[in-house]
Amino acid sequence: TLQQSSFIKNDTEAFKKAFQRQMSPRPLDPVAATKWTLLQEAFQHDIVLDLHCDTSGVVHIYAPRGQQERAVQLARSVGARALVLESDVGGKPFDESYLLPWNALRAAGLVDEDRQGFSCTIELRGQSDVDDAIAYNDALGIIDFLTSEGLLTRDTSATPMDHREVDCFPTEGLLHLPSPATGLVVYHKQPGEAVATGELLAEIVLLDAEVGSARVPVRSEIDAVFLVQQSARLVRAGQRIALLAGQKPLPNRTKGALLMHF
Quote the pTM value. 0.84
State the average pLDDT over residues 232-256. Answer: 88
Q: Mean pLDDT check: name the lowest of 1-15, 57-71, 216-230.
A: 1-15
In this predicted model, what pLDDT tens digit does every residue of 90-121 receive, in sequence order? Answer: 677 888 888 888 888 888 888 887 778 999 99
pLDDT at 236: 95
> Cβ contacts of residue 203 below 8 Å, gap of 6+?
185, 186, 188, 215, 216, 217, 218
In this predicted model, what pLDDT tens digit does every residue of 136-192 receive, in sequence order? Answer: 999 999 999 999 999 888 776 666 566 678 899 999 999 999 999 999 999 999 999
What is the amino acid identity at position 169?
Answer: F
